[in-house]
Amino acid sequence: MPVNLKPTDVVVVGLGAAGGVAVLPLTQAGIEVIGLEAGTWLRTDDFAPDELRNNFRGWPQAVQKANREIPTHRTNRNATLSPRQTIHPMMNAVGGTTLHYWAQSWRLNPWDFKVVSETTRRYGASRIPKGSTIEDWPFGLDELEPYYDKVEFEIGVSGQAGNIKGKIDPRGNTFEGPRAREYPMPPLRGTSFTEMMADAARKLGWRPFPGPAAVATRAYQGRAGCAYHGYCARGGCHINAKGSTAVTTIPKAQATKRLSVVTEAHVTTIEVGANGRVSGVNYVKGGTEYFQPAKIVLVASYVYENVRLLLLSKSKAFPNGLSNNRGQVGRHYFSHNQIGGVTALFPKRLNNWYGLPAQGVAVDDWADDNFDHSGLDFIGGGNLWVYSDRRPISAAGMSTYGRAPRWGSAWKAFIKQNADSWNISYLQKTTLPYEDNFLDLDPTVKDPLGLPVCRITADYQENERRVSTFIQDKMVEWYKAAGAIATEKTGMGTMGPTTHAYGGTRMGDNPETNVVDKWGFSHEVPNLGILGASVMGTSGARNPTLTAQALAWRTADRLAKNWKNIAT
């Protein structure tokens, strides 16, 4: 029998990007919160600029809960399992993957909320790809704007606005929806390389701008401004310039004395009472089982783990998994079409050794529906991004662009000359949900506790392939305009475990096709909320984290303002 703990108001499963934000509005409203986190606290002195450890040995994920339950993947129902990944894309820690993410903190564009109605209006309903289960969001960007704003100011997002209350500023993204005010801090600085790329984009008639990042560019709320030293991709910040929830919203919530953080807590199931409401969660810590009763359960782990936890939580009222009586848990899953990139070789050194992946220049002209798709055979598009970031092992592992062998003296001469002369772009492209792409429990692969891991069944479809080809061609054009002497396209791969996973507990008004309502609460279980990108129904062409955080704040805000109705 598990140890029964003292009941609390809200238990949050996972203190990462989403859970770490939600605890702040809750505790500020006087609600008692217990945060269960599978990882531990990590501090600035844990974040050594060590490429081998961070990027090749998968620290710290390699030793964590997440790594013992890496999802399996197959491309379709009839396919055998793909080779299993050895490192989970996300990490466990207070702050979760916001500790070592790139920190690009985008708002979605207005179109992303209304893909079905806008596509139908502009091009006709036949342009929605066959087999896609895409729906409009239950609200538009205007509904989410105040929450984006709150999160941007709490975690400290730097950037350049392109649209303040409808007034367009060409220094920022002119395609973004209206925002109430400027970012709290100016964008990360440009480099002579990013300026060269921006100039080339302007020559092509495109509209380049610096991207938004949850990285302080000056002293902000007790944290230092960015030192641009590098090692930010899969590395935490040694001066807390990165606005991880571990150094922003979580300590602020702790200061209210209403947040209790329990680390190394491995949540196994959510309990359901006789009334069909959730009553709390079971977790294991240090080999002991505990039951934490709560009036409200907020599930805030990653997409795969959110779905897995619901499916593992079977009860009389929910025999196929919690909140799954309509079979929607795990459905409408998709992962960002972000692998197919382009690399380029320049005839000179770029000095990209320092900087961070969020320090770059973006082009949004070919994203979403920012261009006319009448004569095209796909919907959506991609955001083009180049940045200053390089580390020695990966630099030496560069492509030789057919100009040298892979080893030996000729190779050595090539990398001596070119290791700092190449660049890799990051191309985030629209991905749609489809009938055939879903998550469930693997029938054979289990974690060390004997519980089945999450299984991904998914592959890109025709729309994603066409977007990828189109966007890669645009990137080649951009590099060539900047003087590249060679370019290479990388393959788009398949849809295995990734840092940009979406869906599985989609948000929408229709309970037949969505797990949570427009506020993030289960259609079937009124006191169960779900946080994170698992509620998102579209990807847009940009990083999901800020949207997941804005949604988490909104769900928490809804709960705080309607506490009696939802909690009792």
Please report, as ranges, the residues that interact with another protein according to CB under 8 A: 44-46, 48-53, 56-57, 59, 189, 191-193, 196, 227-230, 238, 348-351, 353-355, 388, 392-393, 395-397, 406-409, 411-413, 415-416, 419-420
Return the SS3 of 301: coil
Smallest distance from another protein to CB 56, Å: 6
Smallest distance from another protein to CB 43, Å: 9
Which lies closer to another protein via its Cβ, residue 236 or residue 382? Answer: 236
Which lies closer to another protein via its Cβ, residue 184 or residue 360? Answer: 360
Smallest distance from another protein to CB 400, Å: 13
| Residue 472 CB contacts under 8 Å (≥ 6 apart), including other chains | 340, 341, 342, 427, 489
Cα pseudo-dihedral 74, 78, 79, 81, rounded to 10: 50
Which lies closer to another protein via its Cβ, residue 121 or residue 348? Answer: 348
Which lies closer to another protein via its Cβ, residue 353 or residue 371? Answer: 353
Smallest distance from another protein to CB 230, Å: 7
Which lies closer to another protein via its Cβ, residue 412 or residue 561? Answer: 412
Report the distance separating Cα 106 and Cα 306, nearest Å.
Answer: 23
Report the distance separating Cα 1 and Cα 210, nearest Å.
Answer: 55
Report the distance separating Cα 17 and Cα 323, nearest Å.
Answer: 23
Place of tokens 């949570």: 516
Burial of 448 from C-beta contacts in 10 A (0-12 / 13-18 / 19+): exposed
- Dmax over CA atoms of the chain, in Å, equals 73
Residues 259, 264, 270, 271, CA torsion sign: negative
Smallest distance from another protein to CB 376, Å: 36
Smallest distance from another protein to CB 240, Å: 12
3-state helix, strand, coil split of the chain in percent (to 5) is: 25, 20, 55
Report the distance separating Cα 259 and Cα 35, nearest Å.
Answer: 7
Cα pseudo-dihedral 398, 399, 401, 404, rounded to 10: 80
Q: What is the 3-state secondary structure (H, E, C) of 93-124?
A: CCCHHHHCCCCECCCCCHHHHCHHHHHHHHHC
Smallest distance from another protein to CB 505, Å: 36
Which lies closer to another protein via its Cβ, residue 239 or residue 317? Answer: 239
Which lies closer to another protein via its Cβ, residue 181 or residue 412? Answer: 412
Smallest distance from another protein to CB 211, Å: 17
Which lies closer to another protein via its Cβ, residue 50 or residue 509? Answer: 50
Two tokens at 556? 């928490």
Smallest distance from another protein to CB 140, Å: 39
Smallest distance from another protein to CB 404, Å: 12
Smallest distance from another protein to CB 282, Å: 33
Which lies closer to another protein via its Cβ, residue 42 or residue 108? Answer: 42
The verdict on whether omega for the bond into residue 60 sits within 30 degrees of 0, i.e. cis, is yes
Which lies closer to another protein via its Cβ, residue 193 or residue 460? Answer: 193
Which lies closer to another protein via its Cβ, residue 348 or residue 561? Answer: 348
Which lies closer to another protein via its Cβ, residue 43 or residue 202? Answer: 43
The verdict on whether omega for the bond into residue 71 sits within 30 degrees of 0, i.e. cis, is no
Beta bridge partners of 424: 343
Q: What is the 3-state secondary structure (H, E, C) of 38-62?
A: CCCCCCHHHCCCCHHHHHHCCCCHH
Query: CB of 38 within 8 A of CB of 305?
Result: no
Smallest distance from another protein to CB 161, Å: 23
Which lies closer to another protein via its Cβ, residue 44 or residue 320? Answer: 44
Q: Tell me the C-alpha to C-alpha distance, in Å, between residue 97 and each of 60, 103, 242, 292, 327.
A: 11, 10, 12, 25, 29
Query: CB of 209 within 8 A of CB of 169?
Result: no
Cα pseudo-dihedral 161, 164, 168, 173, rounded to 10: 30
* Among 91, 222, 108, 235, residue whose Cα is nearest residue 538: 108
Return the SS3 of 167: strand
Two tokens at 28? 């500020």
Smallest distance from another protein to CB 228, Å: 4
Report the distance separating Cα 541 and Cα 4, nearest Å.
Answer: 45
* Among 167, 110, 95, residue whose Cα is nearest residue 143: 110
